[in-house]
A and B are shown apart, each in its own frame.
Chain A
Amino acid sequence: MTSNNGTGPMKSLVIIPAYNEETNLPFVLKDLQGFASDILVVNDGSKDATEEVARRSGVAFVSHPFNLGIGGSVQTGLKYALRNGYDYAIQFDGDGQHRADQICKIVSQVESGQADLVIGTRTLPEGYKCGFSRKIGSLIFCLLIRILTGKRVADPTAGFRCYGPNAIRLFSIAYPDDYPEVESIITASRNGLTIAEESVLMRSRQSGHSSINRRKSAYYMLKVTLAMLVDAMRDKIAWRES
């Protein structure tokens, strides 16, 4: 699929899910200058001044009346993209880990129509470092994805993504609530979307900490595994008709 039925250039939206990101958001928005035409901040019921920061910066923003989680935030962004005629959308974290200069990398395959969903596989100039338990977890997810969909995905938990028109439509209907990254790959694959990966450079975290700590990681593994299995058993979603 190429540009909106051949009329003019493709419209893109950068979605920034933000929960209590008042300190990181100005930095993220500054970083995006020149790399993004339209930006939408999804304030997920933040308790700090995230909404105020977004308002003052002049970018578009929506605010959930209460916290829905990362999945709900991304989905709100995708619904916004669908309703406002965007051709593709980029998920860009509000904590400053993603680099605006890497957006072009994950966009190109969507723009050319080769892929519906592009995942930005994390790399650091000195190699992406992560703990042992995280590596094991990632490995299990890769294996499960392999079994359930037959596809190889190197970094299934990465949140730097580009959604093409088909992905926007599908995920507007069904997108997991919490820990959506891995599960959404299954949803996408089972509903006939083309998934691609692109290596992207990352930044180390500005402030705040990962949403997944050691205590939660066991629950995370179980929940995601179960969700993947359930997803694989579900009926296909009639997203093309919507």
Chain B
Amino acid sequence: MDVTRLVSLLLSGSILTLVIWLIRAGRLREKYALLWLFTCVVIILLAASRRILETAAVAVGIYYPPSLLFLLGLLFLLLVNIGYAVTLSRLSENNHKLAQEVALLKRELEGLKKP
């Protein structure tokens, strides 16, 4: 086993450990956990065997296999980010509604306390 492979296996293994630890600690919700677990598995598979990447690269007509890796990585990050933007928009919308609701309810409460 060459050094590159060892390092990449160690790296991907530690990412998996981190994800599992975050899920266990309740800091990563199951909804997102599944995605990250899946990602870890893919990374480990790619690190373990050069053949997978090479076969895949040749199959789609890419001559330099690492390019496929970068492409997939970038695409993945892009999609995850769009997902975050959607979540963020929803959260800020909810936040907005909550703030308005708090303001209106506080007013009602003060009205109830007065008489």
Which A residues are within 8 Å of any B CB, using their own CB? 42, 60-66, 68, 72, 75-76, 79-80, 83, 177
Which chain A residue shows the least CB distance to B102? A65
Contact-residue size bin, chain B (C-beta under 8 Å from the other chain): under 10
Q: Are B100 and A79 in contact (CB under 8 A)?
A: yes
Name the interface residues of B90-107: CB closer than 8 Å to any CB of A.
Answer: 96, 99-100, 102-104, 106-107
Q: Are B104 and A62 in contact (CB under 8 A)?
A: yes
Chain B residues positioned under 8 Å from A63 (CB to CB):
103, 106
* Other-chain contact of A72, B96, B104, B107 (Cβ < 8 Å): B96
Nearest-neighbour CB distance to chain A for B30, whole angstroms, equals 30
Please, could you name 13 A-B residue pairs with CB atoms under 8 Å apart, sorted by A? Answer: A60-B107, A61-B107, A63-B103, A64-B99, A64-B102, A64-B103, A68-B96, A68-B100, A75-B100, A76-B104, A80-B104, A83-B104, A177-B96
Nearest-neighbour CB distance to chain B for A155, whole angstroms, equals 27
Q: How many A-B residue pairs have CB under 8 A?
A: 33
Q: Give the docked Cα–Cα distance between A121 and B102 (Å).
A: 34
Q: Give the docked Cα–Cα distance between A180 and B53 (Å).
A: 51
Which chain B residue shows the least CB distance to A83? B104
Chain B residues positioned under 8 Å from A61 (CB to CB):
107
Q: Are A72 and B100 in contact (CB under 8 A)?
A: yes
Given A64-B99, A64-B100: 6 more A-B contacts, CB < 8 Å? A62-B103, A62-B106, A65-B99, A72-B96, A80-B104, A80-B107
Q: Give the docked Cα–Cα distance between A79 and B107 (Å).
A: 12
Which chain A residue shows the least CB distance to B93? A177
Chain B residues positioned under 8 Å from A68 (CB to CB):
96, 99-100
Nearest-neighbour CB distance to chain A for B55, whole angstroms, equals 43
Q: Are B106 and A76 in contact (CB under 8 A)?
A: no
Which chain B residue shows the least CB distance to A80? B104
Nearest-neighbour CB distance to chain B for A242, whole angstroms, equals 14
Q: Max chain A CB contacts within 10 Å: which of B99, B103, B106? A: B103
Which chain B residue shows the least CB distance to A45? B99
The contact string, 1 if C-beta is below 8 Å from chain A, for chain B 71-115, is: 000000000000000000000000010011011101100000000
Name the interface residues of B45-60: CB closer than 8 Å to any CB of A.
Answer: none
Chain A residues positioned under 8 Å from B100 (CB to CB):
64, 68, 72, 75-76, 79
